[in-house]
Structure 1
Amino acid sequence: MGKIREVFQKMSLKRSLVLLAVFCLSLVSALSVITILTCSSIQKKILDTRPIIITDYVIRDADSNDTENNNGVTAVPQKYAHGELSKENQLYYWCITILMVSLPIAYIIIASFMVAKLYYKWKLKIPLENLKNGMYHISQQDLDFQIQYTSDDELGQLCDTFEHMKNEIYKSNSKMWNMLQERKALTASVSHDLRTPITVLNGYLDYLEKSIERETLTNETLQTTIKNMTEAVDRLKRYVECVKDIQKMEDIEIKKDNYNLKELIADITREFSILAARENKKLVIRD
């Protein structure tokens, strides 16, 4: 039975349905023929129980071999008729007639039910349950499942397509999650890098404000401070333009350029001096 079911599952939906219907129809036909022949035989036996009424006969001389006829004559029936069945036999006869008609119809109904039941159980139940469970998992945003249904029929192909779709959704979600994580890291990096020039600008503004209060602000100091603030603003603009269209960390293009080390150290020292002054700390540079 298991091998038959396995072979049946590998067939296409149309072929398996036709095969199952032909098998059940053949079984119904055989049972119907057996039932009709059996009922007909029983009916004949019941009819044979009827009495025979002779209405006309002819007297003939008995044969010489007929030793049982003492009178030497024989009555040969010419016309006869069957009498009525007894009430009990009439009841039996009509019951057999009803069975002869109703049993084939019952066979067809039972066969139709069996075709539907077996077809659903062997061809539809497992793949439909797998697809239903798969859709439930997807609705719950759970992609950690697998549809295990191996068949060459249309539903097997549908299950394979569903599994492929689930895997593609899983890959897409994983890629989106990685992008979100990278965007989060990029945002944190941008926030950190933007904080430094903004803090430097605030430090220069505080320095100018305090210089004005102390009346120690000279024209040279003002020009130097404005120049440094302009450089910080330009650096801030360049950084914003650089990261404006960046989607992930890998998109950041690293460019190499020559730079004067003394000037770089002087710029860093100047900016960190402003930051240290805001925190009432002293910056010490050692060679």
Structure 2
Amino acid sequence: MKKKSLKGEFARTVAVTMLAVALASGLAIFGCSQLQKSILPDSNEAWLTQRITAADGTVSEATTRVEIGGQAQSLGRLVQDGAEGDPDQTASYTIDRIDSSFSMLTDKAKAAYRASQVAMVGLPLLFAILGIALAGQWFYRKKLEPPIRALADATAHVRRQDLDFRVRCASADELGQLCAAFESMRQALVDNNRLLWDML
């Protein structure tokens, strides 16, 4: 049987647990962020400001709300009266994105948005706690409890001066080696008792 180490088994258990927690946390955070985007999507609207400066320094300005990525629309051109086609005019444009506002949401949507924010922090924490608890439980049940129980039963037999038993432990780690050593000791005691009886 290949020799194993409790330390190595524990390290593997921790690594698998951390991977599972990280994966579950990542999915939870991604899901919450998608929910937040559906509740409060990024605005696809912007303010388009058109500014015309005439040769005499007068400025005409107009602002229009436009949809980014929407249908093309003609905005026209601002000109001073009687200055149509004046080459001395300069035009400038500015675009300011309109941000979505949390204050514009309904109470129900606000509650859902806040819940998703709490979930983004709370779910990874919950997954970490559950992961540690489940990994610890699994490690104890699978790796520690069977050999400890076998050794406890064996010591109870020896205390009653009953050597008619076997210490069985399938583990190949340090606790398995301890069980094997205990079984060797038990067998040595049986052999010694047999020799003593033969001498009488």
- TM-score, normalising length: structure 2: 0.69
The residue that corresponds to 1:95 in the other structure is 115
Structure 1 position 138 matched with structure 2 position 131: no
| CA–CA separation in structure 2 for the residues paired with 1:167 and 1:53 | 87
% identity of equivalent residues: 28
Within the candidate set 15, 21, 31, 2:8 is matched to 15
Establish whether residue 46 from structure 1 lines up as the match of residue 29 from structure 2. no
Q: Which amino acid aligns with 1:156?
A: G
After superposition, the Cα gap between the structure-2 partners of 1:79 and 1:149, relative to the gap in structure 1 and judged at 3 Å, is: closer
Greater strand proportion: 2
In the alignment, does 2:183 pair up with 1:163? yes
TM-fit CA distance, 1:82 = 4.5
Counterpart residue number, 1:27: 20
- Change in Cα spacing, 1:175 to 1:97, as seen in structure 2 (3 Å) is same
Q: Partners of 1:96 and 1:46 in 2: how far apart?
A: 10
8 Å Cα contact 1:60-1:73 kept in structure 2: no
Task: Say which SS state the counterpart of residue 129 (structure 2) adopts.
Answer: helix
Residue 97 of structure 1 and its aligned partner are, at CA, apart by: 0.7
Unaligned runs of 5+ in 1: 1-5, 183-287
* CA distance in structure 2 between the aligned counterparts of 1:155 and 1:79, rounded to whole angstroms: 66
Tell me which structure has the larger Cα radius of gyration: 1
- 1:115-130 matches, cutoff 5 A: 115-130=135-150
**CA–CA distance in structure 1, aligned partners of residues 63 and 9 of structure 2:** 71
Greater helix proportion: 1
Query: What is the letter of the counterpart of residue 141 of structure 2?
Result: K
Q: TM-score, normalised by structure 1?
A: 0.50
The number of aligned residues is 165
Letter in 1 for 2:62: I
Contact 2:163-2:190 within 8 A present in 1 as well: yes
Instruction: Supply the AA of the counterpart residue of 1:107.
Output: F
Tell me if the contact between 1:42 and 1:96 (Cα under 8 Å) persists in the aligned partners. yes
Tell me the C-alpha RMSD between the 2 structures: 3.3
